[in-house]
Structure 1
Amino acid sequence: MKNTPKNPALLVRISDDKAEDRAGVGRQEADTRALAVRLGWGTGEVFVENDTSAFKRRAVTLPDGSTGLRVFRPEFRRLLDAITVGQVDGLIAYHLDRVARDPRDLEDLIDAVELTRIPVDSVTGSLRLASDADITMARIGVAIANQSSRDASRRIRRKMDELAEAGTYSGGGARRYGYEPDGMTVRPDEAEVLRYAAHRVLEGASVTAVGRELDEQGHRPVKAQRWSSKTLGDQLRSARVAGLRVHRGEIVGEAAWPAILERDTWEQVLVALNSRRTYDNRRELAHWLGGLLFCDRCGHALQANFVREGVHRYWCHSGHRRGGCGRIAIQGEGAEREAERQVVEYLSRPDVAERLAEVTSRRGADRARTDLAADEHQLRDLSRMWAEKAITLDEYAEARKIIQARIDGAKAVQMAQVPEAARKVLAAADPAAAFRSLNPTRKRETARVLLASLGYKGWKVEPHDASKARRFDPSRMALMEVDR
């Protein structure tokens, strides 16, 4: 090992900084600096992981393109790089479990230390990597710490399941807007703000515009000085404001706290927001088929894409975070013309009003809501049976596929509440002309509802036939059924 490091790294980490005052990492830094003085070492860069878990993993894309579960610790990875390239000549940490609770992280550190032969020490003496015995003890210590984290995680999950089943508030995190810190008591002034925002969205105002209004009126979110479109949009989409309990990303039933928005109002707000999700920062859509066209190859929604002045296309965007395959595109004006032709043709059918009323009636929505709750409850029971090894993984996967298809169908019915624009089209003396006169936003809202009443969610766009000329081909667009 190298002697008397002049530029050792100090690593400090705390998993949960509820007070957000960095006091935990501050105490660790003071202790690691004191140890460096006692050892006669210098002090180099401090690598700080505040409010960072060394146990929780997330799905990431690996260098070979596959997906795996990894602990996400950018500062720890930066430290390993600094060790490997010789930027630091030693390492001091507070304790072994501050450095690693995941065996893979420890092995990466061991590799870097054995490659560079830098000395490693810790305030508590629990981490040294100078010999095979030190390394073995570190591996045992991390295995024990990892098991401890797993035990704690299992107990917390079970407690969260219990609270979710009861519909009660689980606590933790920042105060929810509209509610007191107990999560159960409504703040009347903030509740009125959310009701006003929902009303403005249903009138057609963009989330960005509503946020500006709230800023001008002096209303502030919980942890910021101004409303962003994302913050306000998330507040209005939250099932909490409708008095619903969400657990692991799914609505599991009625909550114990009172609702701020009526259920029907909240669902209509979801329709309005979801119909313009990609365009939250615009007052109006430019092209109305976004979210109604889907790639035949990978299933992703196509997005409007500028080509040149006056020309656009819809493309399966493959850019960062888009997730598309990039292999399907269709000429925009032609696609909109064909989609409008099909919608107008449907509007001319004598049974359209009856079909739409059945799908979007309160009775239909209530039935869909009841079916959805029952299926989601069954899905939770199925997960529990698999966890308890009462069924095999194949049995679980097959049953889950069937139940999930029913859930998707019920959600499609719920999301098909008739927006104001669609009601006006249906009430018009000439529905086809009324539809053609709509702006892009209202046209998409109306088309989405009309398609849902037929059991469709949009159009699937098939690949271009290379043997044909490069011009718009309406046969590439086929109606796509809602999964059932």
Structure 2
Amino acid sequence: MRAVIYTRVSSDPNNLGRSVEEQEADCRAVCQREGWQVVRVFSDNDRSASRYAKKERPQYKALRAYLEAGKADVLVMWEGSRAQRDLEAYLSLRNLCAREGIGYSYSGRLYDLTRTDDRFTTGLDALLAEREADLTRDRVLRAVRANAAAGKPHGRLLYGYRREYGDGGQYVAQVPHEGHAAVIREAARRVASGETCYSIAQDFNARGIPTPRGGSNGWSLSQIGRMLRNPGYIGKRVYLGKIVGDADWPAIIDDETYALCQSILTSPKRRTQRDTAVRHLLTGVAVCDVCGGRTRVQKNRTHHAYICMVGFCVSVKIEVLDRFVVAVLMARLSRPDALDLLAPPEDLGEVEKAQQEAAEKRARLDEWYAAAARNEITPGGLAVIERTLLAEIEDADQRAQHVDVPPLVRDLVGPDVEQRWGRLTVGQQRQVVSLLLELRVGKTYRGARSLDPARLGNSRWRGDSRTWAERGLVGEPRTR
């Protein structure tokens, strides 16, 4: 008889394949004893066979194709669970072997899957294998939840840290990896100062800084953004994508810098268009007051202008609009009360409420975890409460992420604002404009030779309910 051997091991981190080799040796001994000729060996290393498996088993797929082609008379395995720990997968393989007349051998015994007793015995073994896989998964999930509740790390090491272990191999602590932590702090500081993720990624690549996974593609703007949005870097434990409490490792980024990065990277009000080669101050920042479309630079007859790209409703010379907006900003930031104007007290009150709400809900969740540990609540009941509270905590955390005055703006305030402004990159200047202004440009009138400030009458300072026209900063638009 032509025998085909299938071996599999679920976990082999070092990819040594020792376990599958031992399985193959046992299977070959069975074939030699029975007088079967081994025609092919299929082996999946470091692959799970449960219904929760996330990786495919390419060799198992090839095995099925080999059996369907009629190239073997008996399938030999070390034990039945090597083929699957999923009852549905067992049924599919059982039907294939019964249909093709292929023997089914494991644990040194040959089964005929056309016989009722053999189908029952192998089916019971498959059911037990599935149960063992489910129990293993339950144990792992309980450990994951317990680690999350205790603030301990689990799974892949977070970039920027290293783990310390005791003599017995037990986890002791997760501490900053100073070389990697310096990279994270630098990226956070530069984003907080208004630099784009793209320029930071380009700089890291030019300096030869390895990526978190050590890939050959280098840093990307999305990689920088994902890294700086991770709450783990401020010492928070995340479970199922939600913050569930404080972590047992120290923070790498301070709370204020992290909150500012979240504001810049996630808030629609603060987000400007992703321009990988920023050259103009107001491209995509200035908005058409007629149709709401954003502007971009385009040549208009003899000059370059900011033009509405939706309905071509408005057009204004680049240097004229830039000069006016910069002058308004300089006047605003040079005032003694500039910081007070930029940090509305009512916003701070809402932030404090959100912070208090998040803390209270985390405390309630901790109480429910403790009740579950005392068997005072069922796992199903805990899951419902956990899902609800985690969603509410996430919402409160988002409302609590507020920076009164971003450092980029705070550092500009003062009598020498113009010199400081001149030292910023165009990207940083754009960030300041976006943080402080909602800039809307209206139509001009026939025969105009200069910018009428009234065209910007519907613009406003961020956080201010009144427009510039309502504040009396500009007059009524002229008409002809």
TM-score category by the smaller chain? Answer: 0.5 to 0.7
Give, as a single letter, the amino acid of the residue that structure 1 aligns with 2:190. Answer: R
Aligned counterparts of 1:25 and 1:279: Cα–Cα separation in 2: 53
**Residues 109/364 of structure 1: CA separation in 2 closer, same or farther (3 Å cut):** same
The 1:184–1:409 alpha-carbon spacing in structure 2 relative to 1, beyond 3 Å, is: closer
The structural deviation recorded for 1:241 is 1.8
Mapped contact 2:149–2:366 kept (Cα < 8 A): no
Pair 1:374-2:364 in alignment: no
- Out of 344, 347, 352, the residue aligned to residue 357 of structure 1 is 344
Q: Deviations over 1:248-287 (max 9, x none)?
A: 3321211221111112222322333335999989567999
2:10 is matched with: 15
Q: Which residue in the other structure is 2:397 paired with?
A: 411
Q: Are the counterparts in 1 of residues 232 and 251 from structure 2 also a CA contact under 8 Å? A: yes
User: Cα offset for 1:92?
Assistant: 3.0
- Stretches of structure 1 that go unaligned for 5 or more consecutive residues are 59-70, 290-303, 310-330, 338-352, 429-436, 455-484
CA 1:4–1:17: 2 relative to 1, 3 Å:
closer
Distance 2:96 2:120 in 1: 16
Shift of 1:126: 8.9
Whether the 8 Å contact between 2:192 and 2:260 is mirrored in structure 1 is yes
Q: Which amino acid aligns with 2:36?
A: G
Task: Say whether 1:177 aligns with 2:157.
Answer: no
Is residue 273 of structure 2 the alignment partner of residue 263 of structure 1? no
CA deviations over 1:152-190 (Å, ceiling 9, x no partner): 3333333333332222334x5457433345552222222
Pick from 232, 237, 240: which aligns with 1:248? 240
Please give the root-mean-square deviation of Cα atoms over the aligned residues, in Å.
Answer: 5.3
**Contact (CA 8 Å) 1:413, 1:452: kept in 2 or not?**
no
Q: After TM superposition, list the pairs within 5 Å mapping 1:193-212 onto structure 2.
A: 193-212=183-202
Q: Counterpart of 2:344 in 1: which secondary structure?
A: helix
Residues 1:376 and 1:40: Cα distance change in structure 2 (over 3 Å): same
Give unpaired runs (5+ residues) of structure 2. 166-172, 286-293, 299-307, 315-339, 418-426, 439-459, 465-480
Alignment of 1:333 onto 2:310:
yes
Q: Does the Cα contact within 8 Å between 1:47 and 1:79 map onto a contact in 2?
A: no
Specify which of 34, 40, 43 is matched with residue 44 of structure 1: 40
- CA deviation after TM superposition for structure 1 residue 224, in Å: 1.5
**Residue pair 2:163, 2:175 contacting (<8 A) in 1 also:** yes
**What pairs with 1:83-482 in structure 2 (closer than 5 Å)?**
85-86=68-69, 88-89=71-72, 90-122=74-106, 125=109, 129=113, 131-170=115-154, 172-174=155-157, 176-182=159-165, 183-221=173-211, 223-226=213-216, 227-229=218-220, 232-274=224-266, 333=310, 357-358=344-345, 361=348, 364-376=350-362, 378=364, 403=389, 406-407=392-393, 409-417=395-403
In 1, distance between residues paired with 2:283 and 2:219? 24
Q: TM-score, normalised by structure 1?
A: 0.59
**Residue 193 (structure 1) shift:** 1.6
Count residues with an aligned counterpart.
Answer: 377
Query: Is this contact kept in 2: 1:177–1:221, CA < 8 A?
Result: no
**Structure 1 CA distance, aligned partners of 2:313 and 2:361?**
36
- % identity of equivalent residues: 20
Q: Offset at 1:410?
A: 1.4
Could you say which residue in structure 1 is the equivalent of 2:56?
73
Residues in 2 aligned to 1:336 and 1:392: alpha-carbon distance in whole angstroms:
60
Q: Give the AA of the match of 1:411.
A: D
Distance across 1 between alignment mates of 2:274 and 2:101: 53
Q: 8 Å contact 2:236–2:244 — kept in the other structure? A: yes
413-422 vs 97-106, greater mean Cα deviation? 413-422
Taking structure 1 as reference, are residues 111 and 217 closer, same or farther at Cα in structure 2, changes over 3 Å only?
same
Q: Do 2:235 and 2:246's aligned partners in 1 also have CA atoms closer than 8 Å?
A: yes
Q: Which amino acid aligns with 2:240?
A: R
The equivalent residue for 1:341 is none
- Is the CA contact 1:288–1:444 (under 8 Å) kept in the aligned structure 2? no
Letter in 1 for 2:265: L
- Rg larger in structure: 2
Partner of 1:457: none
Decide which moves more: 175-184 or 91-100. Answer: 175-184
Deviation at 1:438, TM superposition (A): 10
Determine the C-alpha separation between the residues in 2 that align with 1:259 and 1:336: 49
* DSSP-derived class of the 1:184 partner: strand
Q: State the SS of the aligned residue for 1:44.
A: strand
Q: Is the 8 A contact 1:86 1:116 kept in 2?
A: no
**Hey, what's the Cα distance between the residues in 2 that align with 1:175 and 1:400?**
24
SS of residue in 2 equivalent to 1:57: coil
Distance in 2 of aligned mates of 1:184 and 1:404: 24
The amino acid across from 2:249 in the alignment is: W
Cα drift, residue 195 of structure 1: 0.6
Query: Could you tell me how far apart the structure 1 residues matched to 2:402 and 2:76 are?
Result: 59
Tell me the distance in 1 between the aligned counterparts of 2:347 and 2:396: 12
Quote the offset at 1:140 in angstroms: 1.6
What letter corresponds to residue 168 of structure 1 in structure 2? K
Select which of 29, 47, 53 maps to 2:48.
53
